[in-house]
Structure 1
């Protein structure tokens, strides 16, 4: 398993886009009715696509079979990708079935389609006009989108680049209490607008992380592998029965962001994580442990950590996770430094990254 060295130049090989959320308002009642019909048809197509993906039916064949449900190639292509992602997620979490209760709509982006063929953003003075292709008669549903003020300049630049066929953007429209719009902004553009590259104390140190469902451990080492700082953040309540999934996610993301900023303050210029993308199934014979693992969105947390690190102007290394939690090397680290097993894992992650990077190159003067 190879080590991945990530920076702002190559990050889009792993993370193509970052989602920005906004409020969607459809003022015309007829347009709102048409949008709901479109979203229901899209969700129906995704449900059917899941069965096709499981049975190994190709995208082209699945699209032909569902064209009477949703007569638009781009919508159906996106639905197939959604279905494939759902099936892969079920495989990772050892799930047996998927029940889709809510409906939504999505259209993948393309710079050759002026950003997005089916859902387009048009900047106005105080909002973004949204045009949504209604496939049954080829007309457009009109809506207004409102985003947080800090995202406006970035989204305006995205719309300008799309108008020149330089960038594409995917769009998802969801329905909860109110319609929401989710725009997928290319990662390089997101980092351009939101990066803080000022280094506080660039000592060329490496910070290793061990992330679990109920805690995150961090160990910072210098260029010789000596431990210079350790910090753990625990949140055992998030894996208890009945605890809000959204609040669990928020706690973990906030804890990880805090630790990354802390690593930068003590002199880390490189952040190291286990390459969890390579870990497919982590289930055990312990039902309690399995429940904790199933509630732990490891991929989402890792992606957040990577982006947060790059926003702080830090390099990222993803190391081979084998042996970082159960090996002779791990046991030696625990005995030698008096570390608990999670802190020892973070220490080994830092050491593995240290062997792959030039700390002198990453030092800041």
Structure 2
């Protein structure tokens, strides 16, 4: 079964903020301990059960909550597996400055980060003195997400929780934190309750070319004739220092604009470049000194692949089917140059057209 993680922002202050922050610090220390031990071992387990068996005691000695301890172990295991897939030396990685804590398994109800009827979350905490506590977090829940949360409660659907601290400080002599509650839920439940359009009677094909500052859409018919094309810009996010959270919010808006435009212009199937199989670091919390050279291209590849994945994830909400094509030849080729001249397209829109054309040829 496939899953998706939704994010619900919250603000907290006072004792609630203090307990959330302390739990995140203990969790981070636990992850560091597990990482340090894992680097020293010559052989590491091949699955989650093995990792938990070897490292749970170490993590639990720092964060005395079994679910959070397993969550720290699972996080480090994910880093190790990503490093193997990327060909990166696991012993050379370091954890960056994140603050969060999570469970490691799906359950209903999730015991440590528990969804309640009024869309608040009862969160188990580990205080700075090491004692266990429990606080209530009330995130901002959009109306459409509210329907999804209700479905999870009434259907007793298993989910997994995570709390991420984005920022913290002191205001009027009182500690505050800004963060997000993350819920990992089954993808089919998400589609069932979040769909914007239940039916799609379109017959056209779309091709999408993703870049660091725009998404290009080309629409063609079954004969390969170009019907329409459009560019959805988010060039602001390339500015140095542009906030990451704001950037992804803006990109998310453009993705929905793209899909809404495609739906209302008769697109039934959307072809995307197949994201390179990077085994990439899905939690961008790992820094590695060995990747200083060529890191820009690495980041760009991950950035583009992430946008492509998000388009594929959101497309079913519009009744649009997505398929992947091999991107080879869609950017630099004789055919690409000919299409630019024939239709008066820039190179990115021509790439989108070629992706769509490649899609119908390989169906």
Q: TM-score range by the shorter chain?
A: 0.7 to 0.9
Cα separation, 2, equivalents of 1:186 and 1:324:
34
The match for 1:183 is: 183
Moved more, 234-243 or 315-324: 234-243
Cα separation, 2, equivalents of 1:267 and 1:98:
48
Distance 1:356 1:49, change over 3 A: farther
Cα separation, 2, equivalents of 1:89 and 1:267:
42
The match for 1:322 is: 328
The match for 1:122 is: 116
Deviation at 1:228, TM superposition (A): 0.6
Q: Contact 2:101/2:163 (CA < 8 Å) preserved in 1?
A: yes
Q: Pairwise mapping of residues 95-106 of structure 1 onto structure 2 (< 5 A)?
A: 97-106=93-102
Q: Pairwise mapping of residues 249-260 of structure 1 onto structure 2 (< 5 A)?
A: 249-260=248-259
Q: Contact 1:274/1:320 (CA < 8 Å) preserved in 2?
A: yes
Q: Pairwise mapping of residues 231-270 of structure 1 onto structure 2 (< 5 A)?
A: 231-270=230-269
Cα separation, 2, equivalents of 1:110 and 1:37:
24
Q: How many corresponding residue pairs?
A: 329
> CA-to-partner distance for each residue in 1:272-318, whole Å, 9 max, x for gaps?
2111142579xxxxx99964762662343223212321111111112
The match for 2:163 is: 172
Deviation at 1:138, TM superposition (A): 8.7
Deviation at 1:19, TM superposition (A): 1.1
1:41 aligns with 2:38: no
Q: Which runs of 5+ in 1 are unaligned?
A: 1-11, 282-286, 358-365
Q: Contact 2:191/2:317 (CA < 8 Å) preserved in 1?
A: yes
Structure 2 counterpart SS, 1:156: helix
Deviation at 1:329, TM superposition (A): 4.1
Query: What is the aligned-residue RMSD (CA, Å)?
Result: 3.6
Structure 2 counterpart SS, 1:176: strand
Q: Contact 1:109/1:117 (CA < 8 Å) preserved in 2?
A: no
> CA-to-partner distance for each residue in 1:48-75, whole Å, 9 max, x for gaps?
4445566663323233433322234432
Q: Contact 2:34/2:58 (CA < 8 Å) preserved in 1?
A: no
Q: Which runs of 5+ in 2 are unaligned?
A: 46-50, 169-176, 281-291
1:311 aligns with 2:317: yes
Cα separation, 2, equivalents of 1:93 and 1:231:
38
Moved more, 169-178 or 315-324: 169-178
> CA-to-partner distance for each residue in 1:161-186, whole Å, 9 max, x for gaps?
33xxx423333342523253222232
Distance 1:65 1:187, change over 3 A: same
The match for 2:58 is: 65
Cα separation, 2, equivalents of 1:147 and 1:259:
26
Distance 1:315 1:142, change over 3 A: same
Q: Pairwise mapping of residues 98-247 of structure 1 onto structure 2 (< 5 A)?
A: 98-111=94-107, 114-124=108-118, 127-132=119-124, 134=126, 140-150=133-143, 151-162=145-156, 166-174=157-165, 176-177=167-168, 178-180=177-179, 181-198=181-198, 202-247=201-246
Q: Contact 2:4/2:184 (CA < 8 Å) preserved in 1?
A: yes
Cα separation, 2, equivalents of 1:336 and 1:89:
44
Distance 1:329 1:257, change over 3 A: same
